[in-house]
A and B are shown apart, each in its own frame.
Chain A
Amino acid sequence: MTIVPINKISNSFADAVADIPSGASIMIGGFGGAGGQPTRLMMALRDLGVGDLTIIGNVAGISKTTGYGWPYHLDPVDQGMFFESGQAKKITCSFPVPGTTNPLSEIEKAFREGRAEVDIVPQGTLIERIRAAGAGVPAFYTPTGVGTPVAEGKEHRDFDGRTYLLETALSADYALIRAQKADTRGNLQYIGTSRAFNPAMATAATITIVEVDEIVEVGGIDPERVETLSTYVNRIVQREAGDPMP
């Protein structure tokens, strides 16, 4: 084995996702909407063309048809792209469809046509399952979902007179996340409401790939203000300056 200096920086979005195989499970960070979404990594994965993917997201595919979270006069991009392209077979998320069915979102189309399995998880349970995976906790109890379809088939247990559900950790092969700034070691900082699912997903995947607006040298991020530790980050790709995509 040859020991080489750690270089986490990929030269292109295509390079950063090039080894993702068909059948992979992929977390996609952000909340839903443009902020915090790893849009360029998603487009590179779509262009890579691999199939049979399992996507793990949050508000997953509603921006294209509703404009959710997109302030500009750009065509919104969302996780529905992997269902439009036929690459994804399943999504686990909290919010797969908007209120309206006119027009149908790509995920709802795929669901109605029997092309996609949609696993709908309460948002707080979803993020805690991801956090748990990253933190080495195999399962946890939550009060959310008791007495609803979410509880079906799950262990129930009472603590201090209240009933809770056992929910299990959720990991993935890859996490595609978005941060504002990385140092060359992979320490990350976020901006505004772009955090959302990004920091937890960074901890819960075998390979974490981060799309950033800016890469700085080691020392360029105040150690008091590191939000995601470099240990979790495997690859970093910097956007082109002035990229019009939010």
Chain B
Amino acid sequence: MNTSTKPGGNDPAPRLDRAAIAKRAARDLIDGSTVNLGIGIPAMCADFLPDGVELLYHAENGILGFKELSAPGEGDPNLMDAGGSFPKLVPGMAFFDSVESFSLIRGGHIDVTVLGALQVSRTGDLANWIIPKRGIGSIGGAMDLAANAKRVVIAMEHTARGNTPKIVEECTFPLTAPGCVDEIVTDIAVIKIDRVSGRMILRETAPGWSFEDVQALTEATLVVDGEIVEIS
């Protein structure tokens, strides 16, 4: 495991920025899907949907069918998303309580959730709610979404501070859900997880990054299955 490279230092090429990660993750979102986006990079996916793709956005606090946000300083406290932002009222929107909201999630009615992560294991275990040394963390809707959405995509930076790998053989942080992640989109790679065979398949790399470059920043063993293409 090589942890000596620093972003912009020994990297073979620039890493993608947060917007580019979101843009790549957004490309796989299928028109008409009911989607829940986590905070941070995942929420940015909404800004980069391919032409012609319309999604039905769900937020845990009881709203379905929101689109753009109100201008900063405007917005209605009774029209919020789960990130604490204020969407605009649009036709077709629906409001409901938390029983309904989590029936939707637990019942398997969310097609895709895009979430952030602290660690993802080779077999798709997800850890994203607590950093053990802090001693306290927040679960929110993450465990329900990770365990029950039909598809779980992680959008995150490939490594933590000091190039510490976040994609690992086994999570050392407490889990959010075991064996739930389908795909990881990072600033240097797109990785598919075949949970049946327990393989992490490298599908795409950032421009100028090789399989070996990505593997060097990934604790879990990556495999090749088919062509590796450049993230576009």
Contact = CB atoms under 8 A, between A and B. Distances in A.
Contacts of A149: 174-175
A122 B95 contact: no
| Chain B binding surface SS class | loop
Interface string A64-79: 0011111110000000
Interface residues of A, number: 57
Given A193-B62, A200-B97, A35 B77 contact: yes
Interface in B162-177: 174-177
B78 interface: yes
B199 to A, nearest CB: 20
Nearest to B141: A123
A136 to B, nearest CB: 15
A101 B75 CA distance: 27
Contacts of A122: 139, 141-144
A111 B143 CA distance: 22
Nearest to B82: A31
Contacts of A194: 78
A145 B134 contact: no
Contact of B78 (A36, A120, A144): A36
Given A124-B102, A124-B144, A196 B77 contact: no
B76 interface: yes
Nearest to B134: A101
Contacts of A118: 136
Given A36-B78, A246-B77, A143 B139 contact: no
A70 B72 CA distance: 11
Given A35-B78, A69-B80, A145-B143, A97 B138 contact: yes
A226 to B, nearest CB: 14
Interface in B54-102: 60-63, 73-82, 84, 86, 95-99, 101-102
A125 B60 CA distance: 13
A54 interface: no
Given A125-B144, A193-B61, A195-B97, A111 B136 contact: yes
Contacts, number: 155
Interface residues of B, number: 45
B139 A33 contact: no
A127 B77 CA distance: 21
A188 to B, nearest CB: 12
Contacts of B62: 31, 193, 195-196
B8 interface: no
A71 B134 contact: no
Contacts of A31: 60-62, 80, 82, 98
Contacts of B76: 35, 71, 192
B9 interface: no
Contact of A142 (B63, B82, B98, B106): B106
A101 B142 CA distance: 20
B80 A193 contact: yes
Contacts of B137: 97, 120
Nearest to A70: B77
A34 interface: yes
A190 B141 CA distance: 22
A147 B99 contact: no
A150 interface: yes
Interface in B138-161: 138-144, 147-148
A187 to B, nearest CB: 16
A145 B144 CA distance: 8
B138 A96 contact: yes
B195 to A, nearest CB: 13
Interface of A: 31-36, 58-59, 63, 66-72, 94-98, 101, 108, 111-112, 118, 120-125, 127-128, 131, 142-150, 180, 190-200, 246
19 contacts: A31-B80, A33-B77, A33-B80, A35-B80, A71-B73, A71-B77, A96-B138, A97-B137, A122-B143, A123-B98, A127-B98, A128-B102, A142-B106, A143-B106, A143-B148, A148-B143, A197-B97, A198-B97, A246-B77
Given A70-B77, A124-B105, A144-B148, 18 more contacts: A35-B76, A35-B77, A67-B84, A69-B80, A71-B75, A123-B98, A123-B141, A124-B143, A127-B99, A144-B143, A144-B177, A145-B143, A150-B143, A193-B78, A193-B81, A193-B95, A195-B96, A246-B77
